[in-house]
Amino acid sequence: MAAARHSTLDFMLGATADCNAVLKALQPVFQEQGMTETVHNWEDHGYLATYIKKNGSFANLRIHPHGLVLVDLQSYNDHTKGREETDQLLNKVEERMKELFHGNLKRVKRLPAILRGGVIDRYWPTADGRLVEYDIDEVVYDEDSPFQNIKILHSKQFGNILILSGDVNLAESDLAYTRAIMGSGKEDYTGKEVLILGGGDGGILYEIVKLKPKMVTMVEIDQMVIDGCKKYMRKTCGDVLDNLKGECYQVLIEDCIPVLKRYAKEGRMFDYVINDLTAVPISTSPEEDSTWEFLRLILDLSMKVLKQDGKYFTQGNCINLTDALTLYEEQLSRLYCPVEFSKEIVCVPSYMELWVFYTIWKKQTEV
């Protein structure tokens, strides 16, 4: 099935618009295409003209009196000829507007067409709500687990990208993310006990195993994430997910909360805890958002299994989400034990936004 192509063309005039004059100037452009016209007039609020073609394509022409003229065109022809026809129509509209207003156009803006309903979904929002179009050319993997939808899509720039329930998690290009959540090369993992919460893509485990730790325990709830990544994200995880046990690591397919509670009860302690479960929630209402309760629980339990001189690493969120990040830092003051923290800002390629990472440690008591 062909995707719907949504094309836009915007004009900002240098003065108020004579709505009737604009309409009469552009009517012939649409009528030449054999499009049927319907016009709505809102007196002081301008005009809306709709043009419909027999093949199902249609255009909306919105003329605002204050000088904004908007053209939206939706077509279902995904072949080259259909795209050329759309471009030609928009070109004629632009030419006619320039003739009509000469040098009185402050801005003309034509955005790339948005494809809606296609087999490949190229559009994913950033954490702060901006729309990004990725250069996706293939759906590599798309399955529903008992916990989430798992997609692995191929990007020409970023390689394969893991997307969990609509959130871009990690691409093969994103070693910067993995390094940041491990301490950005400042830590010595040799002979250390490490606990990874989540991390089903295998990137963190793969990088830490290279650093000769004593033992790494990774706790991932979703076997299907591991299965997809070990097959299609091998530039990220190497061969480390081929087996759930290695010389210096083990992977537990379990919910991390019972595991953390068990380790705390047993008195098991770690030099490093790396939380790769979820980003700081966008919501700034922790009393209403269960994700904040989940984060606080993970933090408290992690502190209970972290050695006194150990470190806890986690991602924050996009640098623009200042309210959410500030609220997260406030939560750190409410843990069962006093902690201190630092943060680092890193550019993660496939996120197309700057990302905040936290290092948290127990506050040393003065003797």
pLDDT in tens, 63-113: 999 999 999 999 886 666 778 888 999 999 999 999 999 888 999 999 999
Domain end, chosen from 91, 116, 141, is at 116
- Concerning whether 276 is annotated as a catalytic residue, the answer is yes
From residue 288, alpha-carbon distances to 167, 282, 293, 346 in Å are 21, 12, 9, 30
Per the domain annotation, does 241 fall within a domain? yes
pLDDT of residue 102: 83
Strand 58-63 versus strand 68-75 pairing type: antiparallel
Do 88 and 77 touch, CB atoms closer than 8 A?
no
Question: Number of folded domains in the chain?
Answer: 2
In angstroms, the CA 348 to CA 247 distance is 31
In angstroms, the CA 317 to CA 243 distance is 31
In angstroms, the CA 9 to CA 111 distance is 7
Strand 58-63 versus strand 131-133 pairing type: unpaired
In angstroms, the CA 295 to CA 283 distance is 13
pLDDT in tens, 106-127: 999 999 999 888 888 899 899 8
Kindly state the tokens that stand for 321: 């989400």
pLDDT in tens, 287-301: 556 778 888 899 999
User: What is the domain range of residue 46?
Assistant: 4-116
Confidence of residue 285 (pLDDT cuts 50, 70, 90): low
Do 59 and 26 touch, CB atoms closer than 8 A?
no
In angstroms, the CA 314 to CA 358 distance is 5
Per the domain annotation, does 126 fall within a domain? no
Q: Do 192 and 315 fall within a single domain?
A: yes
User: Element (H or E) spanning 230, and its range?
Assistant: helix 223-232
Q: One of 44, 201, 276, 289 is an active-site residue; which one?
A: 276
Per the domain annotation, does 124 fall within a domain? no
In angstroms, the CA 292 to CA 284 distance is 9
Do 278 and 291 touch, CB atoms closer than 8 A?
yes
Q: Do 46 and 178 fall within a single domain?
A: no
Backbone phi, psi, residue 109, to 5°? -135, 120
Identify the CATH number of the domain in which residue 30 sits. Answer: 3.30.160.110
| CA proximity to 277, closest of 257, 250, 262 | 257
Indicate if the pLDDT at residue 6 is higher than 80.
yes
